[in-house]
Structure 1
Amino acid sequence: MKFSIRRASPDDAEAYSRTHLQGLHETYAQIMPPAFHRHYDAELPVLIAKRREALEAGAASWLAFDEAGAAVGIATSGPGRDDDRPDFELHHIYTLASTHGTGLGQQLLDAAIEDQAAYLWILNGNPRAERFYLRNGFEPDGTSTLCGPTWHHRPMFRMHRQQQVTGGHERTAAVDSRQ
């Protein structure tokens, strides 16, 4: 399966938000209660408006498409928001279940953070994501917290990785993130 990945523009707000919503549903189907999914379904118009605003403000977001042109994955990253970890943050990556095992998640990760030192937050009980990030050099840093009410106060933990260097050379992204 081949994918194309490009920086999302404000015109992509709806496709990005719908893909995000489907990714949330598929990723957290067994982890989150039905109320979580109903909440996000009802919030779709708000999510689209907020994503459009973020993209208009220059948010670093990527959208992945399959060969038929359907949106199948998303990623957003940017400066760290945690006071004790001011480096780069991977806000989220979601790929649709139909693409799992194809390498799309890796392509989105490479586009979103390249070889930078970075951190992310991961919901407890998501072993597939945890394995993916461990394979990519992330390690739990000992920090955990509870999510807010929208996420039903579920526990989450933070993972961090150092800048990636391969064979004496910095690793480069397989995707042109400037598109």
Structure 2
Amino acid sequence: MRDVESLCDEAGLGRTSKSTVATICAELGERFEAFCRRSLYDVNLVVLFLDAIYLPVRPSGPKEGVICAWGITENGHRELVSVRLGMREAKEDWLELGRDLTSRGLAAPRLVVADGAPGLVSAIEEIWPRADRQHCAVHRLRNLLAKLPKSEHDRIRFNYWSALTDATSVKDAKLHLQLLI
């Protein structure tokens, strides 16, 4: 509740009563629950992105895992379909998320983009076996940079993104990426 009080203060709303804060918290909780239960039958994703982030839930507390699923529709619209707090990023967490999405009506996407975590890859193969998989370009770059001296990071980062954004074909992109080596 103190977090909401400080957010209201930062937003210029001044001091907020405890009952107002309680009402705000209840409303946010209801909205989040509705989001988590909403039907996904009308959401047709071409690409589904799966990732986990670690965020501090309390200002001085430890970070907690948040697993997220969002995608791109056939019309190019970005759609957030799931956010789950307190997850460990294990295969079972991803299976639970995938089963929830399919039970709410989400059809299998054509492509699933994710990092290379074994539990996540295994869950994707189980839930959406026919979908193509792609290793996330951001995670791939992070993995690459972790193996290189810091003095090379800026050059590699620039050339990596240039190769992916400036390429005119898959063959051209592969050629540009080979030049990094």
Calculate the TM-score normalised by the size of structure 1.
0.30
Higher relative contact order (Cα pairs below 8 Å, separated by 6+ residues) = 1
Larger Cα-atom Rg: 2
More strand per residue: 1 or 2? 1
More helix per residue: 1 or 2? 2
Calculate the TM-score normalised by the size of structure 2.
0.30
